Chain A
Amino acid sequence: MGPVIPPVSLIAELTHACPLRCVYCSNPLTLAERAKELEPSEWRRVIREAAGLGVLHLHLSGGEPLLRPDLEELVAEASGCGLYTNLITSGVGLSPGRAAALADAGLRHVQVSFQADEPKAGDVVAGRRVHTAKLAAATAARDAGLALSINAVIHRYNIDRVEEIIDLALGLGAGRLELANVQFYGWALRNRGALLPSAGQVVAAEAACRRRRAGLDAVLEVMGAARLLRDLPQALHGGGGVASR
């Protein structure tokens, strides 16, 4: 056996609870009960051990990690270990006060998900009226001095608006935008008939990303545009080619 290459990042799913009800993700059957979540002391140990293995990035995810009252404590532990800490959040619950407390604890980067570029479609996909709260969360993150990324899960109902999504990210002062295809497993797999964009939509979205990307390089890093083409065609040919991670 060759030498072990140290891992670079750790994605910590702190909870599977989430205030959103996105059609492609919501898991009302629950993946893990809240009572079975790791205790703060257990997560602190995991974080220390990860840093010891050479992990450099810690991604605090869920569910909605802001539902964990010990989030600041875990961020502080990670920061003390030299980890670059990223919060992956719906934005719901990220008040200016909480953003400032997390920044004080050593948080560096926040990734806020958006379901659409405007409230009506966004709230339909999220199953809750949360779009406005997300805008406020992104602003709170920036005001707290945190780097901001926007993540938009792309499907049939928002793929025609990738340019508007780029404008949303620019307006919020994000440094990165991830355009991520729906991952077709779980509920998304069951709902694939409704979520899959047409081939024409994919081609048009790709062209729009290419067009906009040229003028953006230094301001905003748009990730994942190429993936729109790479993943989807296989799923478009008759459902046999479901994209996996």
Chain B
Amino acid sequence: MSQQWRPVLATNALLRYDPTRRADVLLLPERAVLLNPSAGAILRCDARHTPEDIERELRDTYREQGSDSQDSPDVGQMKAGVARFLQRARALGWVR
């Protein structure tokens, strides 16, 4: 994955919170994706961010929310997880 890649939602995608299912949903032609909280948080990061920025921002958010260091995920694992998710999202046409 390019270091310079700044993922942006596909132009035909609509990302929003669904109060009925109490979750973020990603809506695409003929497809509705129910997102878990971390997937929603990643996709909500806007196009100015690289995957590394997104990972850092999420880490800061979790820190602010007061997760203590024992609960927060390993930095390496989290970086890999965000990168893997974004690659999958790109392959599926959710982001470009």
* Minimal beta-carbon separation of A204 from chain B (angstroms): 27
Binds B, one of A51-59, A89-97, A128-136, A180-188: A51-59
User: Are A108 and B20 in touch, CB under 8 angstroms?
Assistant: no
Given A108-B14, A175-B12, also A57-B20 (CB < 8 A): no
* Minimal beta-carbon separation of A11 from chain B (angstroms): 12
Which B residues between 54 and 96 are near A, CB-CB below 8 angstroms? 91, 93
User: Are B20 and A54 in touch, CB under 8 angstroms?
Assistant: yes
User: Are A149 and B30 in touch, CB under 8 angstroms?
Assistant: yes
- The total of Cβ contacts below 8 Å across the A-B interface reads 48
Number of interface residues of B (CB under 8 A): 15
Residue in contact with A54 in the complex, picked from B12, B21, B30, CB distance below 8 Å: B21
User: Are B20 and A53 in touch, CB under 8 angstroms?
Assistant: yes
Cα–Cα, bound, A230→B57 (Å): 48
Considering the complex, give the chain A residue whose CB is closest to the CB of B14: A84
User: Are B93 and A54 in touch, CB under 8 angstroms?
Assistant: no
Q: Does A127 contact B (CB under 8 A)?
A: no
Cα–Cα, bound, A56→B21 (Å): 11
User: Are B29 and A176 in touch, CB under 8 angstroms?
Assistant: yes
Cα–Cα, bound, A149→B30 (Å): 10
Q: Does B11 contact A (CB under 8 A)?
A: yes
Considering the complex, give the chain B residue whose CB is closest to the CB of A5: B21
Q: Does B48 contact A (CB under 8 A)?
A: no
User: Are A6 and B21 in touch, CB under 8 angstroms?
Assistant: yes
Q: Mark B9-34, 1 if CB is under 8 A from A, else 0.
A: 00110101010110001011110100
* Minimal beta-carbon separation of B44 from chain A (angstroms): 16
Q: Mark A135-162, 1 if CB is under 8 A from B, else 0.
A: 0000000000111010000000000000
* Minimal beta-carbon separation of A210 from chain B (angstroms): 20
A8, A9, A146: most-surrounded residue (chain B CB, <10 A):
A8
Give me 12 other A-B pairs in contact (C-beta within 8 A), A84-B28, A109-B29, A176-B30 excluded: A8-B32, A56-B32, A57-B32, A82-B14, A82-B16, A86-B29, A108-B29, A109-B12, A147-B11, A149-B29, A175-B29, A176-B29
Shortest 6 CB-CB contacts between residues of A and residues of B = A54-B20, A147-B12, A84-B27, A109-B29, A56-B32, A147-B29
